[in-house]
Structure 1
Amino acid sequence: MRLRVPAAQRNASAPRIASIPPLALAGGGLAVGVGGLYLAGLLLAGGDIDAGTTVRGVNIGGLSRAEAVRKLEERLGSAGSRDLAVTVGDRESTVDPRQAGITFDFEETVDRAVRADDIDPFTVIGGLFRSGGPVQPVVRVDEDKAHAALGKLAKSLDQKVRDGAVTFADGEVDQVAPHNGYALDTDAAVAPLRASFLRGDAGAVTALPARETKPEVTAEELRRAVRDFAQPAMSAPVRLTAADRRFTISPDDLGEYLTMRPDDTGKLTPRLDAKGLRASPAVARNLFGLPAEPRNATLRLVGDRVVAADDARSGVQITDKALGKAVLPLLTKSGTARTGEVAARVTPPEVTDENAARLGLTEKMSSFTVNFEPAPYRTKNIGRAAELINGSVVMPGRTWSFNRTVGERTEANGFVEGIMILNDEFTKAPGGGVSAVATTMFNAMFFAGVKPVEYGAHSFYIERYPEGREATVAWGSLDLKFNNDSGNAIYIQAESTETSVTITFLGTRKYDEIGSVTGPRTNVKQPERKVSTDERCVPQTPLEGFDVTVQRVFVADGREVKREPFRTHYTPRDEIVCE
């Protein structure tokens, strides 16, 4: 028998189940599905990095930060120490990235790869449907180390620009090829060096930026210079005529003194060292013996009349400039066209047997002799000075100079040490004794009647000379000069013996006679006595000092026409005792 329960009672005692619309049922199913996916995403995601994340081919997906850093250090650490191949211009080298301060920052790289700490359902569930993908590694650059390494690299790879050049050796042409100059731009080179490290291409070469300098003498100009000048210059000898000499210069000898230098436009131009070529054995031996200086005719006296010998000759000089001017144009020619003549500088003599009379060299104008005690240094120095003076020709209106004619009294000029007056005392010095020649010249000038220009007497009187009519000279401070105002040329003869020197003026006398009148001594002063311990001390006898005036008397047509005074002051000559 079945028990039936009333509906009202049944509803009151059983749980009540509400009516759920179909959409609600569907939404509930969706909620259950999303929850499952979220849970699955959390379970599958595991680490800090999305699955499929790689760095330079190394998979770090699903790893924690620490795990990913360790894995990258193990797998990529060695790659960061490989040398980087670089070039600067056409030179190659390598750079150690560690020394250049270029390294991987694996921690920063992993930080880039780590997903956000966001566990909202959409992020977690999205992780089920995406892959991390490749991540570029982070590169750190220590700028100071990078610049230091690049500076060191520049020292080995920089190269100076080189111009094209032509040289000559042993009669052959040598060429120096031009090349560009390169200077590494260390500031601009940091970025491409970092990029090369980041790429990590094994065997790749990085061209670093550099400042390029082009040669002024190009390869094209080098080819032109060789073709148009250098090769023709060395092709054959050149043949020259100079004065009465003929000689040949070989390419070997030419090449030693020939160069090519660039001008302002970069064009190679030839240059010949004419001075060096002129002094070279190939040229000098062929020009040896040419008289460089002219020689005047020798004059001698027969009674008081002048006779000229026929021995004058011209001077012939081949100058460096003339040699270069003759040689250089021949170097680009060939065959018989490589023959030329060197212009000679010919200096004719002033006096010849033909023109001596026309110049007025007809008679003795004056002559004077100074005697001296014999001594080797006097003989040497006086003889050398006379040798240099002998044959001097002074044309009308010209000035003659002792120092210019004789030159500095040095060993190289043929003089030796002797006794001379310095600071009012006798002392030893080169050229001692030459004052005897100066005094002789002064008196010859005095009695020839020509005009004195510069002269000076000794500081104290020397007994062997005529008082008030004597002279001394000192190189660089005191000269003996006269001007030839006679109206005709003057020829000076100078000769010496071991005890005398004589100087004679030949020309045309302007006056019948030149006389000398010596006045009395005035302003007389007594000497002192001095003792010297100087190693170079020379004993000295005492002599009073005084003033004196000498009159030069000019006589023409039997009567006196004028007088000229020569005033001289002498200091006392102190007695010097050497101890």
Structure 2
Amino acid sequence: MAVIARSGQRAGAVVVRAFPWRFLVVPLAMSALALGSAAAAELAYSSRALPGLTVAGVAVGSLEAPALRERLESEIAAPWAAAGVTLRDGDREWTTTNGALGIVPDVDAAVAAALAYGKSGSALDRAGAWIDALRGDANVSFAMRARGDALAGFVASVARDANRAPVSGELALAGGDLRITPPQLGREIDGGVTVARLLSATMLGDREVALSVRAVYPPLDASGFDDAYAAAAAALTPLVVRVEDRGWSESSSALASLVVIDRIVARPGELPALPAEAIAPAVRYRYVVSLSGARLDSWVSALGAVLDHPAKNAKFRVREGDVLAVVPSESGVRVDQTKLRALLGVELLRPAGGATREVAAPAGVDAPALTTEKALALVPQLSRTSTFTTQYPPSDVRHANISTGSSQFDGVVIMPGETFSFWDLLGPVTPDRGYRYAGAIINGRSDENVIGGGLCQVSTTIFNAISRQGYEIVERHAHGYYIDRYPLGLDAAVFMPGNDFRWRNDTASPVFLWSLNGDTSLTIDLWGIPTGRTVTFSDAVQWNFVLPAKDQPADPAFLPG
């Protein structure tokens, strides 16, 4: 059925209008023209580099392979060989040239890359490559290759110059001094990375390349050294320990005897992890600094002996007519050795904060065992329970020693259960305390040049006085030969060091000694509360007679015969 189009239409008629093809035909025609032009351009440059393309900054646009190769050989290879190379490591550098290193551009690869540029990928990718090339923004870098072994030799030479072996930390005590070797990291160049950097370049001309270096850690690095060194140095800081107005100084060398330094294998997690790029040792170590428990105990005990101000028990004096007087007791100060040990065990390993460390020793009141009040209460109960007298030849020096020595024991109270020690109570035997040189028996022979010679007269007299009350004898020594002014078998030799005279007050009451000195005699009185004991002595029995040596000099205290 024909459809006729008129200007006037009846109602209900269908009107068919023509599509406006002329508006679509123009853009399609332009796109077709562009695609055709692009296709034509790609076809025209299928064997040539895109216009405007550069290789390492050298213009190679529109060149075919032969011309492109010739251009690269003349404008890249020759200048490249003469270009300088600086290998830098901080403020150190090593200079050479590409030619000396045998580094040459890979012209074949550069030609292939230039010809392939912008000719793969989507149409949009290819169009973008064309635009970049036309704008001068397309540059192809060239690859390098090493010819011969010059590059490897250069890197090896730099390694010998730049590498440094690590130094393991050392910490030790020698002669009271702290000897240390601080740890140092080593360094080792990464040859593979350095070669790769030398073989990579994007432009012609002189260039600078960073040397690739790895840290080499020693078996004992700073993490296992520093804290231990600080603790050891702190422990050796000169020390002053004070109690009230008294102090004791200890030198670094003396303190060194307390310090223990151990080098141990570090367990996992005890030290910080090393950087991933570092060269780690097979085994890591660390130092541990501590104080010897036994030596610290001994030292604190010695400190206590020096710093203690012991309490003084009340003493008795025997006045004319056997009247007893009381010398008042005195409270003292005693170091708390348990607390001092704990304090020093921590304090000595801490930084001192100065050239000298001062520590206040924990201390408490030392109360006397026999107070003035207790002594006064005992006076009515005390009496002379024993007395003994020995004689000796006239001698000024012997008399000085005997009277000086015996006076040290006057009125000193030996409490129940306490042990009397001759040397502990006597104190130092020195000229400044009134002692003189006189005769004594040394190694079984008489020696007239012994400071304090004659003190055995004091110990023997005390022994005879207390033995008559039956007190327990703890230590007694006989002389090297018989001395007839002492009762047979009842002498008590003393010599420092080695021979002491000790006895224990094994009663429930205090006891004290009192001496009376004549020109040639010594009397020791024993005062206490009567024990009710009865002591008897059997007759002496002699045996093993030994004659004196033929060269034994006579005792000058006796007249010949």
**Class of the TM-score when normalised by the shorter of the 2 chains:** 0.3 to 0.5
The structure richer in strand per residue is 1
TM-score, scaled to structure 1: 0.46
